[in-house]
Structure 1
């Protein structure tokens, strides 16, 4: 597995972040995530200023792994990479975006939930796939079922993951990490509840550790 993907796997959780005020919140949020033991973030392009947020987070915590999520166009790929993004996440499987990212030599985690998606990803030689929306698409049961014909993939489920079901996901051997927004909700960020974010990150890290060692 790619070194960066291995580092993400070791952390076990990837906060999926939507920032409405990047100049105000990106730096303290980056510090909170790192302090909580989760030095990784997927900054979604669903909010304006995503590239700015990526740049600020990388400047604030240079060792942090920061990627771009909800990427829909090659222009957004370029914008994210210019800001310092280290990986790209797409909600669905777009062959054009996968090929473009591979040409740029940047990791892409496309959203895949069907055999057709997985087969397309296999043809591109991908290692890790995003499974989105995870809970609504069948959760752990479907991820296990899909791994039978496609054992070469590691999976990052996103969508509906919480502290309550994180252990169930992490215990599945094909799951490399879980994406989630429960530790970086709009309320927590908007009200600058950095201590709560730190606490949720620490709880997540502990759950991952126990699930893997148990």
Structure 2
């Protein structure tokens, strides 16, 4: 009797081990299939996250280390949009884009540099505000890096170059053939006095 019970228990244990082995193997196969399955879903939905790469834009918004930006892989090569760059300054600034226009495909990552110089004899704090024409293009003009995100202080005569890295959303209307990106650069806050300088002969600071 005890022998039969032991044999039956052993048989049930072997069956349980077999079932658990099948479950583990199934879980392993499912996990292994997740990556190609996810890739297939990305291709169907257009969300190509796994295929993203990184591009470097020389000089961050503050002229520091390179800024790493994700490359948009959903590029619409069937059409081209002309992007025009404009600059306006409220105050004594030299402010202009390094180039006036470029041809881009929607979904393509591009960078344009803007050049600044404070031509006054005092330190100034300022910020840029963007605008778009036509206005309907604004929601589709995605800036990944832009000097307009922050305020900056330039010393008297100081020159700077800052990038604008942007992607135009491929969902933008096909009627849009040209987009004008315009920046207005204006002084913020009160007047910042110049740094003290040494008076001739006595070494005392003066304003």
Please give the TM-score of this superposition, normalised by the length of structure 1.
Answer: 0.18
TM-score (norm 2): 0.19
Q: Which has the higher helix share?
A: 1
Structure with the larger strand share? 2
